[in-house]
Chain A
Amino acid sequence: MNNLLKIASVAALMGATVSASADYPARDITNAVVWGAGGGTDVCNRTIMAEMSEVLGVNVNVVNKTGGVAGSIGMNFVKDQPGDGYTLVGLSESNVTSAVQGGFDARFTDVWHPFIVGGSPDVISVTPGSGFDSFKALVDAAVGKPGEIKACASGAGSIHHLNLLAVEDGTGAKFQFVPYKGSAPCQNAALSGEMTVVVTSVAEQAQLIKGGKLVPLAVLVPEAFDIDGHGTIPSAFDGYPDLADVLPIMQAIGFAVKNDAPDEVKQVLGDAFEKAMASDALQAFGASNYYVLSGKHGEDAKDVFNALESQFAWKLFELGAAKFSPEKFGIPKP
């Protein structure tokens, strides 16, 4: 009798699990974004999730779980949830540093099955009053007076900080780096005259560039970038070929589900993601936000994140900003 009951309950449980993944999604999904509300990752996630929820037929609630080391609070939160596809994590390229900074105890792609919406290239800009009219003029000044020109980017180890470091590596310039809590405070510091140089993404700066509040000197990707209403921003690579060794370090904004989620769940999410990427709303979002849209997911996206992880982790380790050696996690050198 007792055994019968056990068998029956196990069978019932198994039945429940099977039907749970076959019916996925049967209830609302939560997407925990590890970066702040209103930021690039947040807005991107809210846009893609709104489109995906139409395809999936359930709501996707986007919440922000910020803080920790490189988004470790939010990532660990989602990691501790069951891998049933009902809790996603909204993240970006900058989260790959969490492991070597002591916030996350695994390699990025060992835990996550990522989906990449895209990203906006980084641009190095100065205040209108600074007098610099070209990237070369800025570099020459920073080489001549090392460590005197004030440059800001969001927190140490962020993508914009790494881009700034790469500029220093590739050109021999040296800036006085001051970290701020995100790109908006950085740009605010530049507008108030506290900072001279600011490195954030084109998307984040576009309004200020068009309004003449910031002067863009160069984009930190190989190709020049057009902003309608302003003109073309040249590439920093022109004249500094060494930059090609250390750049580009491009944004990869998107979300992820845990690797141990059932294949059906990944399949359903992947299909919904592809449909959402093709939607008019997302294409319009990409264009108006100066994104280069990606649409990679699964193994393709893992390759992108593995490369970013190598770049980020080893750079931080060289800087002494990493708590652990990338070797501890088996992260290969770039």
Chain B
Amino acid sequence: MEIVAIVVERIAEFGVVLVSLLSVKNVLVLFGATILGIVFGALPGLTATLGVALLTTLTYGIDHDTAFIALLSIYVGAVYGGSYSAILLNIPGTAAAATAVDGYPLALKGEGGRALGMTTTASLVGTVFGLLCLVLIAPMIIDLALAFTTFEKFWLAMFGIVISGTLTSRDLVYKGWIAGLIGLWLSTIGQEQLQTFPRYTQDLPALQGGIDIVPVLIGAFGIPQIIKALGRKLEGARDIALKRVLPELKTIGRNLHHILRSSSIGVFIGSIPGIGEDIAGWVSYGVARNTSRHPETFGTGEVEAVVSTECANNACIGGALIPLLTLGIPGSPPAAMLLGALMLHNVTPGPMIEFENPGFILGFTAILLLAAFAMWVSGMLLARQVVKVLRVPPALFMPVIGVLCVIGSYSLGLQLVNLYLMVVVGIAAYFLSEMEYPIAPLVIGVILGPMADENLRRGLMVSGGDVGEIFTRPWCIGLLVVIGLTIASQVPVLKRWRRKAWRRFAPESRDAGMEE
């Protein structure tokens, strides 16, 4: 009975904090920052990290509550906003590339509005799930996340590359892996971080710092799309069947197990320091497909897939805040920016945060909840309007996208070399996609390459050159088995055997099983 009383008291306390935040100014800031975040997420080249960074300086002089409302809203909005361009244009503005795999086919079928409605609700559920984990079971998650050391991060990065290659190949799976390896190679260009040894730099100062991710992302996804659309090879997505954007509660209910599973994956991956939303999206996509009864429909516009990736993306936010608030170690790049913002407001997150700033976590989670709902409301209102851009003929629309790509690539570092990089990668990506090579693994390779490379070599330094540890640590074995199964599941003989075994052992079983 005492526990019930405590819980009721906590909820009442939470409600009081929540209501106290709702001044007119705060509500305006809440929606303003959320919509700005959605724009940041949707535009190629603008990222959640950049959005949080922008508001960090702008909110310096403002009071704590309003400042944190602005920062968390833009964070949540930007992570969600990536799904717009991913679904409608097949040009993921953020790392939401996994959403594009099934979201864009849905848009091609004229169900773009429906897909956006689903992702909006999925993002809300994901964010709230992450928030609940942050409040209720942060200490347990942090212990699990700390078990992921150098070698585990290496395998996790490799897993991300392998699985994105496996999942996106249309015809032959090794084409996806080849694309992933090209990306991995691109990521090694530049001075490596452990011993500052230059690799493939050709003594060009521009290559010294390595390849920037954003121009590669924009070039690889945007340029081929523009070339194809203007060459009339591509029927653009249509907006014929926009029945309703509002959430289909039935569909949500049917996908509840996907939502819960993907959110758990998102929270866990978000809580591992240094690993962000992109890997969460891919892992969640992979698990959704592998546990589905009809994996063959994935990639052709499967609602389950879109819901899974977007849930995981947004659950990552709560996950990334767990190590940030409990240890002072950011879980993802935007969370790193958020750490800077907190310190600007003289709040140093860490084990002593509740002691030094009583009530801070309660207020912070209340703000996150508000941000999640503001995102949902804005998303529901925007989705209906945004889908209309598909009515603009490609001949008018694509040049605009082209200009946005150029601005996006240039604006981040203000370096001309990034424009050359975008064009070169874009043309290469066009020819690769003409040859039916998937592009997403290439980008994922560039994003996760440094993580794989550095952690492998750092791990060998930690183990004193002992290669055995790579294969014998418990989590490493787990990841290795999963990677092995992912590859093996693509071997034709094993594929047939698996289908046969599935039919024999589980003829009537539902695809709900398997958590994580």
Contact = CB atoms under 8 A, between A and B. Distances in A.
Q: Do A and B come from one complex?
A: yes
Interface of A: 36-39, 42-43, 46-47, 49-50, 60-69, 72-73, 76-77, 101, 103, 150, 155-157, 176, 178-181, 184-185, 187-189, 191-195, 206-208, 210-213, 229, 284-285, 288-289
A65 B148 CA distance: 29
A66 B209 CA distance: 8
Contacts of A66: 209
Contact of A69 (B208, B274, B336): B208
A217 to B, nearest CB: 19
A210 B352 contact: yes
A269 B237 CA distance: 54
Given A38-B340, A47-B344, A156 B205 contact: no
A37 B53 contact: yes
Interface stretch (B32-40, B104-112, B457-465): B457-465
A131 B385 CA distance: 63
B462 A150 contact: yes
Nearest to A288: B346
A50 B60 contact: yes
A181 B450 CA distance: 11
A178 B193 CA distance: 12
A193 B352 CA distance: 20
Interface stretch (B259-267, B323-331, B421-429): B323-331
Interface in B203-230: 205, 208-210
B343 A179 contact: no
B413 interface: yes
Interface in B338-379: 338-341, 343-344, 346, 348-353, 355
Given A69-B208, A150-B462, A285-B346, A46 B351 contact: no
Given A38-B339, A180-B458, A284-B346, A194 B327 contact: no
B330 A184 contact: yes
A207 B350 contact: yes
Contact of B273 (A67, A103, A185, A212): A185
Contact of B458 (A42, A49, A62, A178): A178
Contacts of A188: 146, 273, 323, 327, 329
A155 B333 CA distance: 19
Given A69-B208, A210-B355, 10 more contacts: A47-B60, A49-B57, A67-B190, A67-B208, A69-B196, A103-B208, A176-B461, A207-B352, A210-B352, A288-B346
B351 A192 contact: no
A300 B409 CA distance: 40
Contact of A46 (B57, B274, B413): B57
B149 A212 contact: no
B337 A185 contact: no
A208 B328 contact: yes
A175 to B, nearest CB: 12
B6 interface: no
Given A42-B340, A211-B352, A155 B327 contact: no
A312 to B, nearest CB: 14
Nearest to B61: A50
A124 B190 CA distance: 32
B467 interface: no
Nearest to B454: A181
A156 B194 contact: yes
A38 B337 contact: yes
B120 interface: no
A37 B273 contact: no
Contacts of B418: none
A150 B149 CA distance: 14
Given A179-B194, A184-B329, A37 B336 contact: yes
B147 interface: yes
**Which 8 residue pairs spanning A and B have beta carbons closest together?**
A211-B351, A207-B350, A38-B340, A67-B209, A38-B339, A50-B60, A192-B146, A38-B336
Given A69-B191, A289-B343, A212 B351 contact: yes
B49 interface: yes
B56 interface: yes
A192 B149 CA distance: 7
A193 B143 CA distance: 11
Instruction: Point out which of B61, B149, B348 has the most chain A C-beta atoms below 10 A from its C-beta.
Output: B348
Nearest to B194: A179
A99 to B, nearest CB: 14
A43 B351 contact: no
Contacts of B351: 207-208, 210-213
Given A156-B195, A188-B273, A38 B346 contact: no
B150 interface: yes
Interface in B30-71: 49, 53, 56-57, 60-61
B472 to A, nearest CB: 15
Contacts of B343: 38, 43, 289
A186 B149 CA distance: 11
Contact of B205 (A76, A206, A284, A288): A76
Nearest to A195: B462
Nearest to B461: A178
B329 A155 contact: no
B193 A181 contact: yes
Contacts of B415: 77
A189 B150 contact: yes
Given A38-B338, A50-B60, A103-B208, A207 B348 contact: yes
Given A208-B328, A210-B352, A184 B193 contact: no
A141 B196 CA distance: 31
Contacts of A285: 346
A192 B147 contact: yes
A284 B347 CA distance: 12
A185 B274 contact: yes
B348 A288 contact: yes
B344 A68 contact: no
B209 A46 contact: no
A101 B197 CA distance: 10
Contacts of B346: 284-285, 288
B349 to A, nearest CB: 7
A251 to B, nearest CB: 16
Interface string B305-336: 00000000000000000010001111001001
B57 A50 contact: yes
A178 B338 CA distance: 27
A37 B146 contact: no
Nearest to B150: A194
A76 B414 CA distance: 13
A135 to B, nearest CB: 23
